[in-house]
């Protein structure tokens, strides 16, 4: 059970970092902190609709993996025999 727990913790750490990076890559919808930190300059980089949709899909998939690893780690911790 320890190997599974360590593997899930590694998956949780990697998905946390990747989610942070992918969320920061998303194009700002205007008006928030993204405009304060140069959102007008980076808005042309994400102009492709296909790239934005793929970024959304990858972010959602990583979010599901992140949430499921948290749930499985919680279940392992709750039902651990020690």
Structural domain containing residue 67:
51-81
Given this model, what pLDDT does residue 49 score? 83
Note the pLDDT of residue 7: 96
C-beta atoms surrounding 14 within 10 Å: 14
Split into its structural domains, the chain has a count of 1
Q: Is residue 70 part of a domain?
A: yes
In a domain, 18, yes or no: no
Within-domain flag for 12: no
Total residue count of the chain as it appears in this document: 82
| Residue 4 domain-assigned (yes or no) | no
For residue 25, is it within any domain? no
- Using CA atoms, how far apart are residues 9 and 1, in angstroms rounded to an integer? 12
What are the pLDDT tens digits along the chain (82 aa)?
689 999 999 999 999 999 999 999 887 666 555 555 665 555 555 456 888 889 999 999 999 999 999 999 999 999 986 5
Is 71 within a domain? yes
Within a domain: 2: no
What is the structure's pLDDT at 40? 55
In a domain, 41, yes or no: no
pLDDT score, position 51? 85
């Amino acid at each position: 059970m320890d190997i599974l727990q360590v593997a899930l913790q590694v998956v949780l750490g990697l998905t946390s970092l990747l989610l942070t990076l992918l969320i920061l890559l998303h194009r700002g919808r205007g008006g928030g902190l993204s405009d304060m930190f140069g959102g007008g300059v980076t808005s042309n980089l994400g102009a492709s609709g296909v790239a934005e949709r793929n970024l959304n899909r990858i972010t959602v998939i990583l979010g599901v993996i992140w949430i499921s690893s948290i749930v499985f780690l919680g279940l392992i911790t709750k039902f651990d025999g020690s």
